[in-house]
Amino acid sequence: MNHALTIRILLFMVLGALFGSLVKFGLTSGAAGAHFVNNVLQVGGKTFISLMQMLVVPIIFVSIVSGVCSLEKADTISSIGFKSFLWFLSTTLLASLLALIIASSFHLGSSVHLAEIVSDNIAPKVTPSLWQFVSDILPSNPIKAMTEANILQVIMFSLLLGVTINVSGDSGRKIAAFFADLNVVFMKYIMILMQVVPYGVFCLLAILFIEQGLNLILGMLNYFIVVLLALFLHLLGTFSTILRLSGLAPKVFFKKMYAAILFAFGVSSSNASIPIILDTMESKLGVSKAIASFVIPLGININKNGTAIMQCVATIFIANIYNIQISLVNYFVLLFMVIMVSVGTAGAPGIGLITLVMILKQLGLPIEGISLIVGVDRLLDMVRTVVNVTGNSMIACLIAKTEKQLDYGVYYRDDSSKTDNTI
């Protein structure tokens, strides 16, 4: 993404927030104002999300197939898969521990006097068992998996198809070339779409500030600040340290991720950010297509560091305000649940709050406590989405490095003077 476009996105975000605040404080009251908010902003925001979202399943499918086709040996896939799972697990544990330490040392929620709380629109869900998860991972009907956007099933189907194409000789080579071309077409689609991103984020930010306003945040300031602090420490502290220890310059990484981060922040959806991240991985950070197309969609669906942080802090907060002691065993249950609930749940806006219900239920904590934090969750969601996508992008770089599939020339190339329209 060129520099001018990035600045434009940032500017439209600020304008959207300002506009939303002005509407909230009654500057554009009356029928015309309501009409504008309900129709223009809502339709604009929804259209923008649909334009991004409609490409997620096709891009995952096509990029994994063409990525796997470009792998020379089948055992590379299992090596990448094994490393990915190790990184997913260890970064989620680090994120959760950091969140627990910060939330506990701030005695979060201990001084809150409990008001009457009513939770009406958050229904508990049932946590799928591990066996259920394993038995559901292969689709009996890949088309159904695609229409239902069951990303894990789409990933499995794409992997199997890619491997089969690889061993199908001449016919396979023709199909592989077709997928490679289709991939180029999809990347072009993203490039064109980037031009409307500023208007899309304007609508989304304006709606957010009209619906939520800043006063909700002030009411839950302690919780809000602690979650933000943990998110930023993990984003800038943990990720930078891991990158540095692995021999990759964090500054370069963050600079190149900047536009994708901004996008994820604006749309609050790591799934909708997949196309942009894939492009950033390949064209700016030098990660091979094979690694990026495998690690990014998989990570975004099973590894959510930012969501884990919010869920740990929220659990401590809710336990404290209800004056419920969390036992040592329950801390382990919490860690286990945080990892489990992110497996297979899409990276969509607000999903972390829904899966928090499962965690609270498992721990025997009152799910009504969620009503306290729901007001500030929308803004925190934007930041934790950034942490989710950045964590997975970092993992893709690390794996590419160890698999010797990282192009250092691209990673360290200075893109700041680029003025063309590539993203």
Q: Which residues bind ligand ASP (CB under 6 A)?
A: 268-270, 304, 307, 347-352, 381, 384-385, 388
Instruction: Kindly state the smallest distance separating residue 349's Cβ from ligand ASP, in Å.
Output: 5
Quick check: 26 and 213 in contact, CB under 8 A? no
Instruction: Kindly state the smallest distance separating residue 49's Cβ from ligand ASP, in Å.
Output: 12
Instruction: Kindly state the smallest distance separating residue 168's Cβ from ligand ASP, in Å.
Output: 36
How far apart are the C-alpha atoms of 283 and 420, rounded to whole Å?
Answer: 13
Single-letter residue type at 366: P
In terms of CB distance, is 49 or 351 closer to ligand ASP?
A: 351
Both tokens of 73, joined, read: 């040996």
- Among the listed residues 186, 235, 262, the one whose alpha carbon sits nearest the alpha carbon of residue 392: 235
- Residue 406's beta-bridge partner residues? 287
Instruction: Kindly state the smallest distance separating residue 218's Cβ from ligand ASP, in Å.
Output: 22
In terms of CB distance, is 53 or 66 closer to ligand ASP?
A: 53
In terms of CB distance, is 292 or 387 closer to ligand ASP?
A: 387
Instruction: Kindly state the smallest distance separating residue 392's Cβ from ligand ASP, in Å.
Output: 10
In terms of CB distance, is 68 or 339 closer to ligand ASP?
A: 339
Instruction: Kindly state the smallest distance separating residue 314's Cβ from ligand ASP, in Å.
Output: 11
How far apart are the C-alpha atoms of 323 and 272, rounded to whole Å?
Answer: 39
Instruction: Kindly state the smallest distance separating residue 383's Cβ from ligand ASP, in Å.
Output: 10
In terms of CB distance, is 237 or 350 closer to ligand ASP?
A: 350
Gap between the terminal Cα atoms of the chain: 3
Please, what is the Cα angle at 273 between 80 and 245, to 5 degrees?
Answer: 45
The number of angstroms, rounded, from the C-alpha of 392 to the middle of its chain's C-alpha atoms is 8
Instruction: Kindly state the smallest distance separating residue 45's Cβ from ligand ASP, in Å.
Output: 15
How far apart are the C-alpha atoms of 253 and 394, rounded to whole Å?
Answer: 8
Phi-psi region of 348 (alpha: psi -120 to 50; beta: other; left: phi over 0): beta
How far apart are the C-alpha atoms of 176 and 68, rounded to whole Å?
Answer: 9
In terms of CB distance, is 71 or 389 closer to ligand ASP?
A: 389
Instruction: Kindly state the smallest distance separating residue 356's Cβ from ligand ASP, in Å.
Output: 9
In terms of CB distance, is 145 or 389 closer to ligand ASP?
A: 389
**Which one-letter DSSP state was computed for residue 367?**
G
In terms of CB distance, is 282 or 381 closer to ligand ASP?
A: 381
Taking residue 325's Cβ as centre, other Cβ atoms within 10 Å add up to 7
How far apart are the C-alpha atoms of 327 and 367, rounded to whole Å?
Answer: 18
Q: How many CA atoms lie within 13 A of 40 on its CB side?
A: 11
In terms of CB distance, is 77 or 208 closer to ligand ASP?
A: 208
- Among the listed residues 272, 322, 368, 311, the one whose alpha carbon sits nearest the alpha carbon of residue 113: 322
Taking residue 261's Cβ as centre, other Cβ atoms within 10 Å add up to 22
- Residue 287's beta-bridge partner residues? 406
In terms of CB distance, is 198 or 347 closer to ligand ASP?
A: 347
Question: What is the number of the residue whose Cβ is closest to ligand ASP?
Answer: 352
Instruction: Kindly state the smallest distance separating residue 231's Cβ from ligand ASP, in Å.
Output: 11
Single-letter residue type at 134: V
Instruction: Kindly state the smallest distance separating residue 377's Cβ from ligand ASP, in Å.
Output: 8
Taking residue 2's Cβ as centre, other Cβ atoms within 10 Å add up to 16
Residue with tokens 């799934």: 271
In terms of CB distance, is 19 or 223 closer to ligand ASP?
A: 223
